[in-house]
Amino acid sequence: MPQATVRTVYDCIDQFAPFDTAEAYDNVGLLVGSWDTPVKRILCTLDVTVNTVAEARRSGSQLIVSHHPLMFHGRKRLINGDPEADTIRALILSDINLISAHTNWDQSVLSGSASVAEDLGVTGLRQEGYLFTGDFPSEQSASSVKSLIEKKIKAPVRMYGSPSQAIRTISFAGGAYGSGYTEAIAAGAQAYLTGEIRHHEIIDAVARGLVVFDAGHYASEVPMIPRLIRFLKEQLGDTVDLIASSQQPFTGALY
């Protein structure tokens, strides 16, 4: 297999999460770097901070593949002391390339939502936009579903609704997709797992008989990273090393 380049990796990601399916407001694709750079090691991460760039440099990675993009809000200046500007400058000064796949990845079978569903043993997964809905093998109480989620994603979960409610069908939309609870109800789910949901949305959802699990943005999406690594390994074979970032974006600490 010929040595991969930044473009090869972009083309692989484009297979499962076509970049042209991203929302118009999004910022995806090659964001920093050059298409023809040879790539031997890739750092995969949800977020990119100065700590992530330092980790990429330490690990000898030529490329970072992130879920959340930089320059999401149309940045016009790169001035020292601004955290995002410092991150972009660090990428350029370290000659590290950055590809981001965001809303296109969210709508793919390797999304955080589909990954969490799989980790929970939910089957018969069907997709509608960002929403993935599936079934547990048998009915179980909301409180036992909460325990299962916390065990699988290794993070605390907030549950809203009756702990004794029976759940067979559950919808998933990781990240910031609280408004998707109406779609979960329309999909016939008794429960909805998301990463961010607003107070008034919770009140409305519960009043409509839905149990809501708020797993946090990070924890509800980070299971997508091992899926990406598995997929790229299959595509690129031994020509490339793939590593998952050990940084949390808030603290820079190890998991």
| Contacts to Zn ion by CB under 5 A | 175, 221
Tokens read off for 245: 């970032």
The residue among 33 and 175 lying less far from Zn ion, judged by its C-beta, is: 175
Shortest CB 198 distance to Zn ion, Å: 16
Please state the closest distance from residue 137 (CB atom) to Zn ion, in A: 29
d(C-alpha 207, C-alpha 209), whole Å: 5
- Contact by Cβ (8 Å): 6, 30: yes
Nearest Cα neighbor of 137 from 123, 153, 151, 117 is 123
Task: Report, in Å, the least distance between residue 60 CB and Zn ion.
Answer: 27
Q: Which is nearer to Zn ion, 29 or 175 (CB)?
A: 175
Minimum CB distance to Zn ion, residue 188 (Å): 25
* Cα separation, 25 vs 147, whole angstroms: 36
Residue 160 to residue 191: CA distance in whole angstroms: 10
Minimum separation from the CB atom of position 243 to Zn ion (A):
21
Contact by Cβ (8 Å): 6, 34: yes
Q: Which is nearer to Zn ion, 33 or 216 (CB)?
A: 216
**Phi, psi for residue 106 in degrees, rounded to 5:** -60, -25
Residue nearest to Zn ion (CB): 175
Q: Which is nearer to Zn ion, 145 or 224 (CB)?
A: 224
What's 27's DSSP letter? -
Q: Which string of DSSP letters, residue by residue, matches 39-85?
A: -SEEEEES---HHHHHHHHHHT-SEEEESSPSSTT------TT-HHH
- State the minimum distance, in angstroms, from the CB of residue 217 to Zn ion: 6
Distance CA 17, CA 160 (A): 32
